[in-house]
Structure 1
Amino acid sequence: MTEPRQLDPYASPKTFYGAELRRLREAAGLTQSQLGERAFCSGTYVGQFETAVRRPQPDTSKLFDEILGTGEHLQRLCRLARENKYPDYFADAAELEQMATTISEYAPMLVPGLLQVETYTRAITRAALPLASEEEVEKLVRARMDRQYLLNQSTAPQLWAVLHETVLRVPMGGPTVMHEQLIHIAQLAHSHRIMVQVLPFTAAAHALLNGMASLMTFRDAPPVVYTESAGTGQLIDEPVMVERSQKSYDLVRAASLPPMASLDLIESVAEEYTTSCAPHMT
């Protein structure tokens, strides 16, 4: 179980939800474990909601309401608590990033968000939303930049990124932006803050052809995998699917260039961006 801690119920919708869930659970005479058993989850999971560690989930809130006889009270609070600066399909994954002990990313086309420089983020956001206002674009850019504080924490997760060679070769934002972006990735790797590999074009078919994947493991919770395509994303926690994704990731990592050779390629392509409009495909 998650030990109770003092929270200001009025600090945010998420803390209010947690305080209400605890109040209602205790009024029903249930422990966290007992409520979790009835809601098909662990007592620790219930405790994470009560202490505002995790955002409330719609399906779980519906079960809580049914078990506690509270109508749609927790479901309504859940809707408020889930309002977020990130797109709804990504918000849960963004929250889990902060709790992860390891993050293993595969990027087929774009630099992973945690590794992006601001100019790169702005370029791809503008490309994806050509009719958006400057204010909307800057809001999205700032949200992504804010995520990166994670890498500067003493409790930062171990981050392993496999980048398809396409990520290096397609000049998102132009040569200057790409040079800055690739040098940033190289610097993170040289400072031992991340591990990075490149999956070369010569690898041809591979196990993660369907798109990006981010696998996260935790100290006291089961692993999850997040997948994303244009305008949508999915957080998967079903054990069989997570295990399958992990095996696919291991195969892709094995097919990639070794870390030092990957760094050499990243730095070489970065240099090409300073001498030509775009590097040649290999």
Structure 2
Amino acid sequence: MVNIQQLDPSASPLDYYGWELRRQREAHGLTQHQLGEIIFCTGSLVGQIETTRKVPTREFSERVDAALGTDGLFSRLIGLVLRSQLPTWFQPYAAMESRATYISTFQAQVVYGLLQTRRYARALLAVDHPEKADEMVAARLERQRILERSEPPALWVVMSEAALLQEVGDREVMREQLAHLLAFRANPWVQIQVLPFAAGEHTGMMGSFNLLRFEDDPDLFYVESYDQGHMTANPPVIKERSVGYARLQATALSPEDSAALITRVMEERHGDPS
């Protein structure tokens, strides 16, 4: 007799997703193998997702909705599931980031998460979490969906030149990532500036930080350490860091000159060997 794993749908978004997938599949009289054939995957994958051993993707969810006629149920659930894969200490910031109308970020070493490519993100995340890299990458890409909204937040990025020169993955990964940054030149809601090494000492030398603005709520300042994040709406902190950010913007290259530098680094440092 087959031992069917019992799930507690209240345990987590992932448990609820797996429980609901099994319930809907059985209601349609399908085996795991039969559903897999319909949505172009293996029955084993369906079983792993039903028992929470595998985190579903957005594509998988959309195919299940189409196959079972569930009116977008799993496509709605997947956002909750993927956000739950973010580090626990980071989830409060991600929730506020998704509500912000204006995001300002200074990045001292790496490309900001909302602008990372899949392969760049995976190379970063696999360093410390190789066993969870796929799930963490999916969660990071899910965060980026806020830039695809009909009314996306305005995003202003100031990044150190170090982020362009530090090789993440390999030269091909870096070239793809820098080309991705250049693609945002046509996006009116995203502005990217590079702070060159020639700028010398600056107000961001203590590390990366973010400022979030909202329609009705107070501004937030966010900074993180290795294993925790810190958010505050303390007015003196907001004032001090807002002035600091304005100074970074004034010191950095213009968006046009920044694009020229990104292009030069991409071609000279991360270009084809030939």
TM > 0.5 fold call: yes
CA spacing shift, 1:127–1:255, aligned 2, 3 Å: same
How big is the shift at 1:118? Answer: 0.2
Cross-structure match for 1:183: 179
How big is the shift at 1:85? Answer: 2.1
CA spacing shift, 1:168–1:239, aligned 2, 3 Å: same
Q: Could you say what secondary structure the match of 1:160 adopts?
A: strand
Cross-structure match for 2:201: 205
How big is the shift at 1:174? Answer: 1.1
Q: Which amino acid aligns with 2:271?
A: T
8 Å contact from structure 1 (residues 100, 157) kept in 2: yes
Cross-structure match for 1:121: 121
Q: Could you say what secondary structure the match of 1:274 adopts?
A: coil
Superimposed CA distance per residue, residues 191-211 of structure 1 (whole angstroms, 9 cap, x where no aligned partner): 334100000000111001111
Whole-angstrom CA distance in 1 between matches of 2:245 and 2:145: 26
Q: Could you say what secondary structure the match of 2:217 adopts?
A: coil
How big is the shift at 1:127? Answer: 1.8
Overall identity of the aligned pairs, in %: 32
How big is the shift at 1:97? Answer: 1.1
Whole-angstrom CA distance in 2 between matches of 1:236 and 1:188: 30
Superimposed CA distance per residue, residues 4-43 of structure 1 (whole angstroms, 9 cap, x where no aligned partner): xxxxxx99989xxxxxxxxxxxxxxxxxxxxxxxxxxxxx
8 Å contact from structure 1 (residues 211, 229) kept in 2: no
Cross-structure match for 2:271: 274
RMSD, matched Cα: 2.1
Whole-angstrom CA distance in 2 between matches of 1:230 and 1:188: 29
TM norm structure 2: 0.67
Whole-angstrom CA distance in 1 between matches of 2:273 and 2:249: 30
| Structure 2 unmatched runs, 5+ | 1-8, 14-82
Whole-angstrom CA distance in 2 between matches of 1:165 and 1:140: 26
8 Å contact from structure 2 (residues 153, 189) kept in 1: no
Whole-angstrom CA distance in 2 between matches of 1:163 and 1:270: 15
1:235 aligns with 2:231: yes
Whole-angstrom CA distance in 2 between matches of 1:207 and 1:248: 6
Superimposed CA distance per residue, residues 70-102 of structure 1 (whole angstroms, 9 cap, x where no aligned partner): xxxxxxxxxxxxx93211221111011111110
Q: Which amino acid aligns with 1:104?
A: S
Cross-structure match for 2:213: 217
Superimposed CA distance per residue, residues 122-178 of structure 1 (whole angstroms, 9 cap, x where no aligned partner): 00111233xx32xx1111111001111110001210000001000001111111000
1:255 aligns with 2:251: yes
1:158 aligns with 2:145: no
1:106 aligns with 2:102: no
Q: Could you say what secondary structure the match of 1:139 adopts?
A: helix
CA spacing shift, 1:185–1:240, aligned 2, 3 Å: same
TM norm structure 1: 0.66
Whole-angstrom CA distance in 2 between matches of 1:11 and 1:101: 32
Moved more, 237-246 or 114-123: 237-246
Which aligned runs of 4 or more in structure 1 are off by greater than 2 angstroms?
10-14, 189-193, 229-232
Whole-angstrom CA distance in 2 between matches of 1:276 and 1:169: 17
Q: Which amino acid aligns with 1:148?
A: Q
1:97 aligns with 2:97: yes
8 Å contact from structure 2 (residues 220, 232) kept in 1: yes
The alignment covers a number of residue pairs equal to 196
Q: Could you say what secondary structure the match of 2:192 adopts?
A: strand
Q: Which amino acid aligns with 1:98?
A: S
8 Å contact from structure 1 (residues 225, 237) kept in 2: yes
| Structure 1 unmatched runs, 5+ | 1-9, 15-82, 278-282
Whole-angstrom CA distance in 2 between matches of 1:221 and 1:11: 31
Whole-angstrom CA distance in 2 between matches of 1:191 and 1:237: 29
8 Å contact from structure 1 (residues 212, 229) kept in 2: no
